[in-house]
Amino acid sequence: MIIPNAKNIPLNALQGTVPDVSGALMDRFQQMTFGQIGKVINQIFQVQETVTNFSFLGNWQAAQPTNLEIMARGERSWTYWTVHTLSVLPLQTDDVITYLGTQYRVMSKTDFTLNGFVEYRFISDYSGSGP
């Protein structure tokens, strides 16, 4: 008699095999509002910044020290942040946002929707640098 187990089944091979952690994350979420900064050239050929605000539930936390060790040398003086959210935000890598009066650049977007969340990584950015 063979006892079946899951040691040879990849996590995403069967529907429902990856744990959905969205319920546990909801306890840590708060209302957040980001301002997405875009640039347009007006009729007199000057660059004009526009800010589009959007709100969502998410968790804002500092990057872990182990993540900082693998970052490029010289970048450690910058602050890195991670946001977990249940919804996919209208952000792509290299977009610029403002949060609580500080400007940040999107470094990565990782889709963990099988687990019930999406992760974004940000780095502090020079104000006025825009996309």
Q: Domain spans of the chain?
A: 22-124
Homologous superfamily of 22-124: Bacteriophage SPP1 head-tail adaptor protein (2.40.10.270)
Burial class of 105 by CB neighbour count within 10 A (0 to 12, 13 to 18, 19+): buried
Q: Are strands 80-85 and 30-41 parallel, antiparallel or unpaired?
A: unpaired
Kind and range of the H or E run holding 49: strand 47-62
Mean pLDDT by 10 residues, the chain (131 residues): 62 62 82 90 83 92 66 62 91 91 91 88 74 50
Give residue 55's pLDDT.
94
Give residue 124's pLDDT.
85
Give residue 85's pLDDT.
93
